[in-house]
């Protein structure tokens, strides 16, 4: 499932630019925590892994889905909701299921 969103942020940015859409907010893509070292988690976005601080989510654990903004995990997301969001982005971007 997560392989569907590999490089999703780049695809979203290209889609927005091509459509001439102007945004006044961030677009949130959920990622899955795959590793935690102290206050830093490794978050997997379908194969693209980034570090994020988890100071704002003290109960974060491996396997949780989170929304990251400016390098900080700011919200946990239920797995069901995260997967729905990932599917929605796949549909918007015209990716095969």
Residues 10-60: pLDDT tens digits?
A: 676 677 667 665 555 566 789 999 999 999 999 998 788 999 999 999 999
Say which residues have a Cβ less than 8 Å from residue 82's Cβ, sequence separation at least 6.
Answer: 30, 32, 65
| Domain extent for 80 | 2-92
Task: Return the pLDDT at 89.
Answer: 75
Number of domains in the chain: 1
At 22, which CATH number?
A: 2.30.30.140
Dmax (CA) for the chain in angstroms is 41
**Inside any domain, residue 49:** yes
Q: Look at residue 12 and give its three-state secondary structure.
A: helix
**Inside any domain, residue 33:** yes
**Inside any domain, residue 59:** yes
Residue 94: HSE in the Cβ half-sphere, 13 Å Cα cutoff: 3
**Inside any domain, residue 39:** yes
**Inside any domain, residue 97:** no
Cα torsion 17, 23, 26, 29: sign: negative
């Amino acid at each position: 499932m997560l392989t569907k969103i590999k490089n999703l942020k780049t695809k979203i940015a290209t889609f927005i630019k091509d459509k001439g859409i102007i945004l006044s907010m961030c677009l949130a893509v959920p990622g899955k925590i795959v590793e935690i070292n102290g206050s830093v988690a490794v978050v997997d976005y379908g194969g693209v892994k980034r570090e994020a601080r988890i100071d704002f989510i003290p109960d974060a654990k491996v396997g949780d889905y989170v929304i990251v903004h400016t390098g900080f995990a700011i919200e946990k997301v239920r797995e069901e909701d995260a997967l729905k969001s990932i599917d929605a982005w796949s549909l918007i971007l015209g990716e095969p299921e």
